[in-house]
Amino acid sequence: MSTVTILGAGAMGSALATPMLQAGHDVRLWGTFLDDHLIDSIKAGSPHPRTNVKVPDGVASFYHGELEQALAGVEVAIIAVSSVGVADIARLAAPYLQDVQGILITSKGFFPDEQGTIQLLPQTVEAQLRAGGTPFKPVVAIGGPCKANEVAYGQPTATIFGVEGGASAWASLAKTKTYRVASTSDRDGLEICAAMKNVFAIALGVADGLSEVGEQPYHNLKSAIFAQALAELRMLLSAAGTDPWTALGLPGAGDLEVTGISGRNKVYGARLGKGEKATTALAEMVALEQTVEGVDAVRLAVVFIEQRFSELLAQMPLLSAIYAVVHGGESIDRIVEAALPR
């Protein structure tokens, strides 16, 4: 048994409390300054506002001003905030992580360092820990198809942990009867898949939106988008020196499938498919506290690729099309065309 503190009381952070508690750990859940109303609901014994599932009894909850108490004597920390908040949370927590065995991260996306170079989130966490004087700690990436409400309910879930040098020991940390954890040493490949699936899910949502307003479904188009997304993901993984087969496992195809069925990025894409402007759709979802990670991720992904292997971008028409629609105001016809054979 370990003492586990989850940093971030949103949907995924609160959901992970369920398997961690079932695995026999002492679990604490800390909320950021944006999460006070969520902690209020948890302490009141109400269902979590984001998952509609009650956080299990036995999970200790802490407000944002109680970070030191939440991390006192902790052995494992889990960062479960949106990608834009990862660096800040890692920096705040660093002074209290001197003695932890490792840090897990569920966040998915990219982040620019001080020089403007786009980094993967585990590297972002490592940089903040070094800056805070924290000795080296393994940073384990969590990926795969994990809808937070299903994890919270305890429904069968297959996830995957990734860390350089192997993650099997870390995978056993959280494994339960219904929360099954695979492992991989391809942490960077897993992280690229985790970020990119939010981007490509926008395009999958466009097909769903077209289906909703059309007389016939667009299932053929959605399948073509899915296939093109995996092809581009494999190319990116190969160029990055990671394992291209990771794109076809839980981190890639598995996570893209579930996000394309019901994720917020898919919902955003569906709004585009029904004719909404990109800026309007995003503003309305933000007003509902629905983070659409793919909007920032597609912009950062383009820069990530341009900085490292610029020639690859011309071979990724779907990625370029999503960027053009989301940030350039172009028609969704650009996405449709990118998914079909030239």
Q: Which residues are catalytic?
A: 197
Give the span between the Cα atoms of 135 and 187, in whole angstroms: 20
* Side-chain half-sphere exposure of 285, counting CA atoms within 13 A: 23
User: What are the helix (H) ranges across the chain?
Assistant: 11-22, 36-43, 67-71, 86-93, 121-131, 148-153, 168-174, 187-213, 219-239, 255-262, 264-273, 278-287, 293-309, 317-328, 333-339
Q: What residues are paired with 158 via a beta bridge?
A: 180
Q: What residues are paired with 103 via a beta bridge?
A: 77, 139
Give the span between the Cα atoms of 266 and 218, in whole angstroms: 14
Give the span between the Cα atoms of 95 and 97, in whole angstroms: 6
Tokens of 172: 């056993």
Among 106, 124, 107, residue whose Cα is nearest residue 115:
124
Give the span between the Cα atoms of 237 and 216, in whole angstroms: 35
